Structure 1
């Protein structure tokens, strides 16, 4: 708030004018005939009748005449002294102007083609594709739905929007029922249906993160997803142990990446568990099978990334520390001793590279009570976000022959039980809205 300085002269002249007017009014009142019983207001009538007539100046120096003149002058001075803050005021909105939007307020968010809308309520709908909306109505498409169990979040929001069939969908399905309720409908309308079942581990598509590793840079991303996904909480252990696990995982996963490109086989995460079983030396003089494997890899790919990580691990972790790190990582990978889990990641049928160009519905069944396999879901979503944005960029930049920007299919994520931690990479990816991923 600022206070403007007022010019004095205009208010001084106003005071002089008011002093003259008040003095003249009193002088005329003094000359008026005395009131009578029949005309009690005759002095005031006299003043009004003669106020604008001659003579215009009266020489009345009585105390009351001077007092009236002083009062008129002071009125002008008080007007000068009055402080008027230079601010913008919204009277009646002192407690805020927030209100619920009316149906008329929401009309601009809609796409003219109803099939292209996201459905919130009967009157609230939002166009899914920003390029079809005027600029002032283009908003982020992230939606937070909050409600108690049984409030109908799936029934009133997820299902109606799946029935729009206006994009590819990735849906977490904790109860495992949604795919049975809408899967046939989607399939009948040309959708490819994918199911990743981490509850029963049966009747599921398979996901192999190695299928989406196209360069050694992908080793770090996949490794981080696995290590983060196997954490029991944000305060688990010290950063020392996390970095130790990352280093060993990078070495082993990196080995499989490079070795498979040489020997032409399909690696999977269960092979990491097999390598961990053969890391310990039988005696101090004889190298372990894994050490021999890394030596052979170094001969084929000198100075490779996996070998560097292996050398760092051996140089910095010895004796009991090394044993502790191996025990921790071995315990995490022991989950792949289950044949059902190994079958789930032995090959890949998810075909993520097609989700941007072919309408696909992916249902990820995550247990609400058992978090033993959550790291597989975390890895899946981490790879998913990366692949979808990479594929969209490739199409937009003309790197995929036969595809243009018009061929891009929007991909929507419906993440039920999001608060339970579907993936730690989601908060970073949730702002991606300019690549037809939301």
Structure 2
């Protein structure tokens, strides 16, 4: 920057010397011809473009050139001494819309290797080259094209593994067969027609290295997403919630360590078998007796540790946690225990429905949803079909995503390369309606290096604020891409927030003042002011085919939405000039195999 400034100063000083020298020579010649002074001054500068390559060595002309150079030099010196920070055209803001050259460094030359945002902007899947994660916050009101213009086009690129929240099942109906034709194994958890999809046994995905922690997350997830009336600040309500959570921790852990086929229905049956009496507080239910027998077993093994193998000690450690959590329940009075049992029965009532029990694996613990397949080299797509009119069973969606993230993160951490063998992208449509995923605000910030990414899809900002309260900014802040496809008519929060992200630009403003009368006057005043790149009301009136895309560290884009009927042209890209970059299509492709080449293999046509 310093050398550039010196070059500019030197060039302007030499230009001033040249111009003053030529003008002085021309003025002397015109004056010698007897022309008037006014004519001489008017015609003297014409030599600058009529004969610009001349240079006079006359003493007078040289002195004039030195005087011109000195004037420009003194002007530069004054500016240097003045030291004021003039940011021309940026006084009130420097925001402006991005152009093609702004997105080029972040696109892959092969369209199939991008996550398509708009008709003209895309983001490469190579997060190491772009230094941007693939987490996307998609905002769009009803009918704005979230499914048609974003989810479906990117799903049909078939360049990753997928987990897709699918309201009403329309994405599954339109894409499942095509995915299977390209070699994908397709699974579906159907919460609309409970018997139509795969079975999902959450207990089959408890982390074997830290089962107690995984079970506590499952119990917390169950409570958070089955109690819409939960008041985080309520004193009395919190007592019952915590007591109920301790009971779930105890029963889930007991089932996990003692059942031949651990499952949620087995835990539900234990709750149904529990009893409490206000008259005889010493009375024992079947569950009480099992917990007492477990304590006897724990004492026996602890008293003679050398007589038992490691497997027994591991079970005893788990039962020790279960009985300790159950002790919290047992310490209550008979009336208190009865209230906790009733509350648990009411909360678990949806899982007593026969179709739901079968969906959750039944007593035989059947699981066909195939979360294990995301840790293998093959291609997998999982669809979660949600009803759009009834949220009774939507808590199962939050449990599914908890287990999916736990299982894939565990697999990535135990992979020699530290990430999944095939990247996984989760299209979380209707994000606010799938419940609150435990620790999601931490997960979204740490999954990038494990080749896991998410698209958080919302109708408006108020949805995520209501669900995640104080953590919504952390979630959105960990999305390097924000895509706004349109806002609802009554939504005031989202346009204001988005307008603030776009920033302000500096514009020229002209004031015309007219005074009428016998001594009227007319004045023009030019000044500069700041203006939002788009005001909230302008964002609310975006045309149906337009959208706004923001990528971290890049100017925002006002673009045309992706049209699934129109193929996207190969973007110009400068990724190929990035150190260490290589085309994704050249990695892991068997020679002579037909199809579209991608980083992780070829898709057969």
* TM norm structure 2: 0.54
In the alignment, what sits opposite 1:429?
443
Equivalent residue in structure 2 for 1:420, among 393, 417, 433: 433
Q: Which runs of 5+ in 2 are unaligned?
A: 1-35, 39-76, 300-316, 454-605
Per-residue deviation, residues 308-340 of structure 1 (Å, max 9, x unmatched): 11112212x223322222211111112222110
CA contact 1:259–1:297 (8 Å) conserved in 2: no
In the alignment, what sits opposite 2:341?
326
Q: Which runs of 5+ in 1 are unaligned?
A: 1-38, 42-78, 399-404
Q: Tell me: CA distance 1:87–1:246, structure 2 relative to 1, closer, same or farther (3 Å).
A: farther
1:265-280 aligned at under 5 Å gives the runs 265-280=260-275
In the alignment, what sits opposite 1:158?
151
Alpha-carbon distance in structure 2 between the residues aligned to 1:189 and 1:168: 12
In the alignment, what sits opposite 1:99?
96
Alpha-carbon distance in structure 2 between the residues aligned to 1:104 and 1:40: 53
Q: How many residues align?
A: 349
Shift of 1:235: 2.3
Q: Does residue 353 of the first structure (1) align with residue 372 of the second (2)? A: yes
CA contact 1:168–1:356 (8 Å) conserved in 2: no
Per-residue deviation, residues 217-257 of structure 1 (Å, max 9, x unmatched): 32212212212221215526532222112111101111101
Q: Does residue 195 of the first structure (1) align with residue 188 of the second (2)? A: yes
Q: Secondary structure at the match of 1:92?
A: coil
CA contact 2:225–2:398 (8 Å) conserved in 1: yes
1:28-427 aligned at under 5 Å gives the runs 86=83, 88-131=85-128, 133=129, 137-213=130-206, 214=208, 215-233=211-229, 235=231, 238-260=237-259, 265-281=260-276, 284-302=281-299, 304-315=320-331, 317-346=332-361, 347-357=366-376, 358-396=378-416, 408-425=421-438, 426-427=440-441
Shift of 1:84: 7.3
CA contact 1:272–1:333 (8 Å) conserved in 2: no
Q: CA RMSD in A?
A: 2.7
Deviates more, 1:188-197 or 1:352-361: 352-361
CA contact 1:195–1:204 (8 Å) conserved in 2: yes
Shift of 1:385: 0.8
Per-residue deviation, residues 160-194 of structure 1 (Å, max 9, x unmatched): 10011010001100121110100011011111101
User: Normalized per residue, which structure has more strand?
Assistant: 2
Q: Tell me: CA distance 1:118–1:397, structure 2 relative to 1, closer, same or farther (3 Å).
A: closer
CA contact 1:270–1:333 (8 Å) conserved in 2: no
Shift of 1:118: 0.4
Shift of 1:40: 12
CA contact 1:117–1:125 (8 Å) conserved in 2: yes
Larger Rg computed on CA atoms: 1
Shift of 1:286: 3.9
Per-residue deviation, residues 242-295 of structure 1 (Å, max 9, x unmatched): 2112111101111101112xxxx2122122222122211575554210111112
In the alignment, what sits opposite 1:44?
none
Shift of 1:86: 4.6
Alpha-carbon distance in structure 1 between the residues aligned to 2:403 and 2:37: 97
Alpha-carbon distance in structure 1 between the residues aligned to 2:246 and 2:82: 64
Shift of 1:95: 2.5
In the alignment, what sits opposite 1:20?
none
CA contact 1:190–1:359 (8 Å) conserved in 2: yes
Q: Tell me: CA distance 1:146–1:286, structure 2 relative to 1, closer, same or farther (3 Å).
A: closer
Q: Of the two structures, which has the highest relative contact order with CA contacts closer than 8 Å and spacing of 6 or more? A: 2
Deviates more, 1:85-94 or 1:365-374: 85-94
CA contact 1:278–1:290 (8 Å) conserved in 2: yes
Shift of 1:421: 4.5
* TM norm structure 1: 0.73
